[in-house]
Amino acid sequence: QQQVKQSPQSLIVQKGGIPIINCAYENTAFDYFPWYQQFPGKGPALLIAIRPDVSEKKEGRFTISFNKSAKQFSLHIMDSQPGDSATYFCAASKGYSTLTFGKGTMLLVSP
């Protein structure tokens, strides 16, 4: 049973566009929701993370929106650039237990 569902599987946007990646979780005990960026042949790198006591968090061009009642959270990338082309994973955990990952979204930002 997949506990974190991520969509879309792939996404193509033009430079300057705002790609949005969505995740939905089932376990209401989750209290840590990070987003990771992964380039081919590299390990994931933490982009931004949120806890359920806030509805939005912004760091640079990356914004997480969190809807606790709907059990959903999303990543927005403002003014996307070709260098943002990568695979993005959402994840969730309860405290500092193991992370549960979404299946990933391959983002391509065209010049």
Partner 1 sequence: GAVVSQHPSWVICKSGTSVKIECRSLDFQATTMFWYRQFPKQSLMLMATSNEGSKATYEQGVEKDKFLINHASLTLSTLTVTSAHPEDSSFYICSALTDNYGYTFGSGTRLTVV
Nearest of 2, 9, 46 to residue 27 by alpha carbon: 2
CA distance 84 to 82: 5
> Binding mask 28-67 vs partner 1 (x if CB under 8 A, - otherwise)?
----x-x-x----xxxxxx--x------------------
Residue 109: CB minimum distance to partner 1, A: 18
The encoded tokens of residue 24 equal: 């939905």
φ/ψ bin of 71: left (φ > 0), alpha (ψ from -120 to 50), beta (otherwise): left
- Could you tell me which stretch among 11-19, 20-28, 52-60, 96-104 binds partner 1 (CB under 8 A)? 96-104
Residues that bind partner 1 (CB under 8 A): 32, 34, 36, 41-46, 49, 89, 96, 98-99, 101-104, 106
